[in-house]
Amino acid sequence: MAVNIVRDIDDWVRVQHVLVSVSDKRGLDVLVPGLVSVNENLKFFSTGGTYARIAEILGEAGANRHLARVSDYTGQPETQGGLVKTLDFKIYLGLLTETHNDAHQADLKRIDAVPIDMVVCNLYPFKATIQKPDVTVETARANIDIGGPCMVRASAKNYLRVASVTDPGDYESIIKKLKQSGGRIGLKTRFALARKAFAHTAEYDGTIAKFLAESPDEKMEGCYDKKGA
């Protein structure tokens, strides 16, 4: 398999397009207006409850200017129960493209996509779910996040251009750095965020693996009425 080994990157990247999907919505009232304050043309892409919270923070006029539903951007509606929301070629092209790769830039133009410069994402509360005394294997399974880890991993892999933000505790410092740099985020900050992002997904997957390993088949099978093929 051929891979791209990159040499040419931008030390500083202006944050123009931000993908936001969070279970923990603490701090959005700091992050959202902070990002808009450093770039009056900034655009958020979001889904579900996160979209509703950002719209509330921005107000009607601000939401009309700065906020778009992922489904409107991709042209693909969310599936029932939010099963598939962000797993879309247009989204991942925007996350993984390299600035100085002509083929990548041509792909963006081909499908009218934009490069996504920042992902703000934290995951379904799997650990909190399995700590409940009445948890079942099925309840745990339903709370396994798929789209979130994919977004986090893609943005963290492409720290060459994208900031992967997983901790609400980092919002204030990120806004401070953006204000100091005229709305741009530096390579060292993106790399530090990537370290934290991969640690976040590693811990998440480890928690899932441990729970499943400790759940006997009988406990799993007891959740379901099995149908014949």
Residues 6+ apart with CB under 8 A from 221: none
d(C-alpha 211, C-alpha 123), whole Å: 17
3-state SS, residue 13: strand
| pLDDT score recorded for residue 87 | 87
Return the residue matching tokens 């806004």: 175
Question: In this structure, are residues 54 and 63 in contact, taking their beta carbons and an 8 Å threshold?
Answer: yes
pLDDT at 228: 75
pLDDT score, position 215 = 96
Predicted confidence (pLDDT) per residue in 102-136, tens digit:
999 999 999 999 999 999 999 878 999 999 999 99
Task: Look at residue 81 in the predicted model and tell me its pLDDT.
Answer: 67
Q: What's the pLDDT score for residue 79?
A: 74
Residue segments in the chain with a per-residue pLDDT below the cut of 70: 81-82, 229
CA distance 16 to 153: 20
Cβ atoms of 15 and 39 closer than 8 Å? yes
pLDDT at 205: 97
Hey, is 59 helix, strand or coil? helix
HSE of 85, CA atoms in CB hemisphere, 13 A: 23
Residue corresponding to tokens 């991942």: 92
pLDDT tens-digit map of 164-185: 999 999 999 999 999 999 999 9
Cβ contacts of 139 within 8 Å, gap of 6 or more? 129, 132
| The model scores a pTM over 0.85 | yes
* Domains in the chain with CATH codes: 12-217 (3.40.50.1380)
B/e letters for 172-190, b = 16+ CB within 10 Å, e = fewer, are: eebbebbeeeebbbbeebb
Q: What residue type is assigned to position 162 of the chain?
A: V
**pLDDT in the model for residue 229:** 63
Residues 6+ apart with CB under 8 A from 203: none
- Tokens 């590693």 identify what position? 202
DSSP letter, residue 71? H
Residues 149 and 95: their CA atoms lie apart, in Å, by 13
User: CB within 8 A of 6, min separation 6: which ones?
Assistant: 98, 100, 101, 160
Q: How far apart are the first and last CA of the chain?
A: 38
